Structure 1
Amino acid sequence: MQGKDELEKTRERVIDSISQNMNLYGVSPSVGRLWGLLYFQNQPMTLDEMKNELGMSKTSMSTSVRLLMELNMVDKVWKKGNRKDLYVAEEDWHQTFIDFFSIKWRNSVAANVNVIEKSLRELGQLLESPEISEEMISEIRSDIDKLHKALDYYDWLNRFVDTLESHEIFDYVPKKPPIT
């Protein structure tokens, strides 16, 4: 078919670029290549089809698909008459970014806030110790102040993620710039 080679060449160039930049999403180039493959498919694919196309083991393919599903970058779909699991890429790049960013940052914020709150409790108890020097009290208060600033940042980050998840971000940064 005329143009088939050129079409495949352009797709491969984009898939290569995507796979090399997927480290921004915390995934390996091979997982990025899988997402790129699924993105350019016009129909859902089975694990066997993906395995054959990319030359990866079925175990590796299954692990990669599961990771992409956890990141909401791939969905499992059902097709009448097909008993095998089928997968498609999420095609809305904005939503993919929002889902990925939200998942990663909500987990990180929660973990960091828990550690900071525990540290603040311990520093508060340390301040109540009668044996503590004035110099140490000053250092503890400085640390407490720094940790409260960190909590302010995490509060801001949670609110930022809220604007992503609610799509309010697009009121400030439209998907497409206004035509001027």
Structure 2
Amino acid sequence: MQNDQNWMNYEKIKDHFIHSIAKNMTLYGITPSIGRLYGALYFSDEPMTLDDMCKELAMSKTSMSTGVRTLSDMKMVEPVFRRGVRKDLYETEKDWYKSFTALFSRQWKAATETNIEEAEEAMVELKRIYENTADEQLKMRIDNDRARLEYAHQYYRWLLRFVDAVESGAIYDLVPKEESKDQK
């Protein structure tokens, strides 16, 4: 009886952590259901098929397929080949640093590049208005706003350098990875 309770407690703790992973993955634009899928795959001792995932999470095969594709695009899940197994198998990328780097870099780079383009377009438009107005008060406002946009532009260029440091791995020179006991 005590052993059954231990197993129940074990499952409860694991499920709680998976829920925590799923909740926090929303920071990266991942839905909670896909986060739970990632958690289930992460804690699985063996690669899983879509059917395995459906049973584990009580979700449709379509949802599992969409989730796996999303996680695969984010470099968080990868297909696994097993001789004699005809169905596709998947497992999580075990290196969370690598997964984070791929996910962080892609999202931040895209957002930052968009912000740079928007700032540059705004500066061009403000310059055009500035050159076509005699209103000194408007010109002062435009000068102030152009300075703010230039500052934003400098920040975004710095952010791109930061993203490059994450992508290249140079960030680990400044903030080293911690080795787990399993990695030694």
Q: Normalization by structure 2: what TM-score?
A: 0.87
2-side partners of 1:65 and 1:14: how far apart?
20
Residue 113 in 1 paired to residue 104 in 2? Answer: no
CA offsets per residue over residues 102-160 of structure 1, 9 Å max, x none? Answer: 1110110111111111111111211221x331111111111111111111111111111
The count of corresponding residues between Structure 1 and Structure 2 is: 176
Residue 167 in 1 paired to residue 169 in 2? Answer: yes
Match of 1:99 in 2: 102
Matched residue SS, 1:132: coil
Q: How does 1:142-153 map to 2 (within 5 A)?
A: 142-153=144-155
Match of 2:157 in 1: 155
Identical aligned residues as a percent: 45
Larger proportion of helix: 2
2-side partners of 1:125 and 1:64: how far apart?
47
| Amino acid across the alignment from 2:20 | S
Residue 89 in 1 paired to residue 73 in 2? Answer: no
Residue 137 in 1 paired to residue 124 in 2? Answer: no
Matched residue SS, 1:75: strand
Instruction: For structure 1, list consecutive stretches of 5 or more residues without a partner in the other structure.
Output: none
Instruction: For structure 2, list consecutive stretches of 5 or more residues without a partner in the other structure.
Output: 180-184
Q: Detail structure 1 runs of 4+ shifted over 3 Å in the superposition.
A: 1-10
CA offsets per residue over residues 87-108 of structure 1, 9 Å max, x none? Answer: 1111112222211111110110
2-side partners of 1:104 and 1:26: how far apart?
9
1-side partners of 2:123 and 2:82: how far apart?
54
Q: Normalization by structure 1: what TM-score?
A: 0.88
1-side partners of 2:86 and 2:143: how far apart?
63
1-side partners of 2:117 and 2:148: how far apart?
15
CA offsets per residue over residues 55-78 of structure 1, 9 Å max, x none? Answer: 011111111111111221111222
Deviation at 1:164, TM superposition (A): 0.8
| Amino acid across the alignment from 2:162 | F
Residue 54 in 1 paired to residue 53 in 2? Answer: no
| Amino acid across the alignment from 2:52 | E
Residue 15 in 1 paired to residue 18 in 2? Answer: yes
Matched residue SS, 1:50: helix
Matched residue SS, 1:62: helix
Q: How does 1:21-40 map to 2 (within 5 A)?
A: 21-40=24-43
2-side partners of 1:141 and 1:83: how far apart?
65
CA offsets per residue over residues 144-180 of structure 1, 9 Å max, x none? Answer: 1111111111111111111111111111111129xxx
